[in-house]
Amino acid sequence: MAYLQITGLSVNFGGVRALSDVAFSVAEGSIVSLIGPNGAGKTTAFNVITGYLAPTAGTVRFAGESIAGLRPHEVARRGLVRTFQKTNIFPELTVGENVLTGLHLKGSAGLGAILLNRVSVRAEEARLRERAEEVLAFVGIAHRRDESASSLPYGEQRLLEVAIGLAADPRMLLLDEPASGMNPSEKESMMGLIGRIRQKGITVFLVEHDMRLVMGISERVVVLNQGQIIAEGSPDEVRGNRAVIEAYLGTQGESLATSSANRAPA
Ligand SMILES: Nc1ncnc2c1ncn2[C@@H]1O[C@H](COP(=O)(O)OP(=O)(O)O)[C@@H](O)[C@H]1O
Ligand SMILES: [Mg+2]
């Protein structure tokens, strides 16, 4: 069953056609990757799906309902949560406080509740802290809870970003280049974490440049080039696809079999 379904999606930026009649779907419970050379339109697709950008044309359906035109926080409330290619962390807050910012989305205590009923607000806060602790433990950085986010090594900052996303209790998590800038052992941890996220029943849709990571964990891979889908299939099908190999060779001088990180600016 298509959990996320994109049809006829086009985005123009002035004269630049960033996406051109793009269609694909993501099955519930799967790990699907969106790959393609720099400028292919991957981040633009993420921005449309998560309500940060209105498409020029096309539809986005999630769990059977149209989510086109919803604002980012409304999309997130429906369970479609993203991380960012550029970090979304508040560096001056502690690790634990950062996770609380993700939980805020699910918290029910508004200002009215705070004024009217301090006891229930305190209960709510205790519940949120417990949940933050669970999420930190899940990604493996609970021991860092009281350190400032900016003091974390880079790889752990990326894990914190995933923790912030998980705190919002997603049904589907969109990860934009979660392993960019990571060293090989950090990438291994990220791969393991993505697998465990899926085991929790969360559907994962990721944009990632690291081919070893993509090919190692994805059930399906969708390949964009210059705003159009040029291939879609299992990792093996995509790896052997002539158009894909040419797209990568043409723009990056790098073969799919050997390519690793190719860090693009957001
Ligand atoms: N806000 C914007 N304004 C104008 N052009 C943009 C904007 N965002 C992206 N683009 C252009 O759209 C194309 C796709 O960009 P992007 O989605 O960031 O690619 P990717 O994430 O695959 O590297 C590129 O040509 C990029 O320069
Ligand atoms: Mg991008």
Read off the pLDDT of each residue in 184-206 and give the average, rounded to a whole number.
95
Is residue 18 within 8 A of residue 227, CB to CB? The reply is yes
Q: 208: Cβ–Cβ under 8 A, 6 or more apart, which residues?
A: 33, 35, 175, 177, 178, 179, 180, 214
d(CA 231, CA 35) in angstroms, rounded, equals: 10
Tell me which of 13, 50, 176 to substitute to probe ligand 1's pocket, judged by most ligand atoms within 8 Å of the beta carbon: 13
C-beta 13 within 6 A of ligand 1: yes
pLDDT digits (tens, 9 = 90+) for 33-78: 999 998 999 999 999 999 999 999 999 999 999 998 899 989 999 9
Which listed ligand is nearest to 36 at the C-alpha? 1
Confidence of residue 101 (pLDDT cuts 50, 70, 90): confident
Q: DSSP letter string over 32-56?
A: EEEE-STTSSHHHHHHHHTTSS--S
C-beta 16 within 6 A of ligand 1: yes
pLDDT digits (tens, 9 = 90+) for 105-164: 654 555 555 455 666 667 778 888 899 999 999 999 999 999 999 999 989 999 999 999
Read off the pLDDT of each residue in 181-201 and give the average, rounded to a whole number.
94
Q: DSSP letter string over 100-140?
A: HHHHTTT----HHHHHH-HHHHHHHHHHHHHHHHHHHHHHT
Closest ligand 1 atom, residue 46 Cα: 17
Of 93-97, 212-216, 228-232, 254-258, the poorest mean pLDDT is in: 254-258
Q: What domains are defined for the chain?
A: 1-79+170-266 (3.40.50.300), 91-168 (no CATH)
Confidence of residue 249 (pLDDT cuts 50, 70, 90): confident
C-beta 18 within 6 A of ligand 1: yes
**Burial environment of residue 253 by CB neighbours within 10 A (0 to 12, 13 to 18, 19 or more):** exposed
pLDDT value at residue 251: 52
Three-class SS of residue 172?
Answer: strand
Tell the residue nearest (CA) to atom 1 of ligand 1.
13
Which listed ligand is nearest to 53 at the C-alpha? 1
What's the mean pLDDT when you consider all of the chain? 87
pLDDT value at residue 253: 45
pLDDT value at residue 255: 46
d(CA 21, CA 7) in angstroms, rounded, equals: 7
pLDDT value at residue 152: 93
User: Beta strand 31-35 with 220-225: parallel, antiparallel or unpaired?
Assistant: parallel
Is residue 79 within 8 A of residue 106, CB to CB? The reply is no
**Burial environment of residue 77 by CB neighbours within 10 A (0 to 12, 13 to 18, 19 or more):** middle
pLDDT digits (tens, 9 = 90+) for 153-176: 989 999 999 999 999 899 999 999
